[in-house]
Amino acid sequence: MRLLHTMLRVGNLEESLKFYGDVLGMKLLRQKDYPGGEFTLAFVGYGDESDHSVIELTYNWGVDSYDIGDGYGHIALGVDDIYKTCDAIKDRGGKVVREPGPMKHGSTVIAFVEDPTGYKIELIQLGTQGSAKPESEKQAATA
């Protein structure tokens, strides 16, 4: 099994596509209207869906806002240079809601940006986070 996509309901599909494309550098992979259900699905990501997890943006026609709720956390993206990435996001009109720096009670360098609907996206400086390698790989690396 593998993670295919994360779905977010958006209030303005064009604004959201602009944010995920122009601000975060994702590509629109596919988009389709469903007139019978009065919704549009748009899939965005950094690579083809055959080997990358992507984000499904769902626009329900006529719905322009959502209560995100307190159960939603965030989407996380790994970046090579968090400071340059945040500057580029601001230059492209994106909203950085937590400037880069170490997370509380840890050493991972993070920042947060917000999309037009209000969803939080965490940026993580690659190489500063805890290892996501399986235990067997960690043991092999220290042997």
Enumerate the active-site residues: 122
Distance of CA 10 to the CA centre of its chain: 13
Q: How far apart are CA 135 and CA 10, in angstroms?
A: 38
Outline where DSSP puts E strands in the chain.
5-9, 27-34, 39-45, 54-60, 75-79, 95-102, 109-114, 120-125
Query: 18 in helix, strand or coil?
Result: helix
Q: Which of 4, 2, 20, 5 is nearest to 117 (CA)?
A: 20
